[in-house]
Amino acid sequence: MSDAPVTLAATIRRGVAGDAAAAAEVYLTSRRGAGALIPRLAHTEDDVRTWFATTVLVEREVWVAEVGGRVVGVMVLRGDFVDLLYVHPESQRRGVGSRLLSQAKRGRSRVRLYTFESNEPARDFYEQRGFKAIAFGDGTGNEEGAPDVLYEWRGILR
């Protein structure tokens, strides 16, 4: 008998304004769950919730992963750039993040994203899905002031 997590049958769909609260909670809960792997938020949790409701779900291309009517993952895109990709800790390592990344790759020949240099699990996740580290930053380019890594995936336009 295997202890491997069961892959979740998540539905991937475009985020809508009504998803703002649930998407913000996935983001906040995932950030809290990462603990020391990533720096603390540069904004209050209330500011993050407002940002999701007034900017993210209004101005960005947002995709959510839903299981049983509950949002368990969120990805925010700007062109070929993944601004955010977060999965609720209870749903991590169960295929949700991979499904969201696959959505990002659809119709694009290149996808880029940043992750914190200290976040080894995220770095492993992206590298296992074909992303290559192309630049290392000293933290001056992000609000948290933490060293980061720019990743890029190149593929055949699908």
Q: Where residue 2 falls among pLDDT bands split at 50, 70, 90?
A: very low
- Those residues with Cβ within 8 angstroms of residue 120's Cβ, 6 or more apart along the chain or in another chain: 37
Instruction: Tell me the two tokens of residue 78.
Output: 């700007």
Contact criterion met (CB below 8 Å) for 130 and 138: no
Angle at 84 between CA 79 and CA 90, to 5 degrees: 140
Structural domains in the chain plus CATH codes: 11-154 (3.40.630.30)
Angstrom distance (rounded) from CA 153 to CA 80: 10
The pLDDT tens digits of the residues spanning 37-56 come to 887 888 999 999 999 999 99
Residue 134, pLDDT > 60, answer: yes
What's the pLDDT tens digit per position in 68-123? Answer: 999 999 999 999 999 999 999 888 888 999 999 999 999 899 999 999 999 999 99
The pTM (predicted TM-score) of the whole model is 0.90
Q: How many other C-beta atoms can be found within 10 angstroms of the C-beta atom of residue 69?
A: 6
Q: What is the largest CA-CA distance in the chain?
A: 48
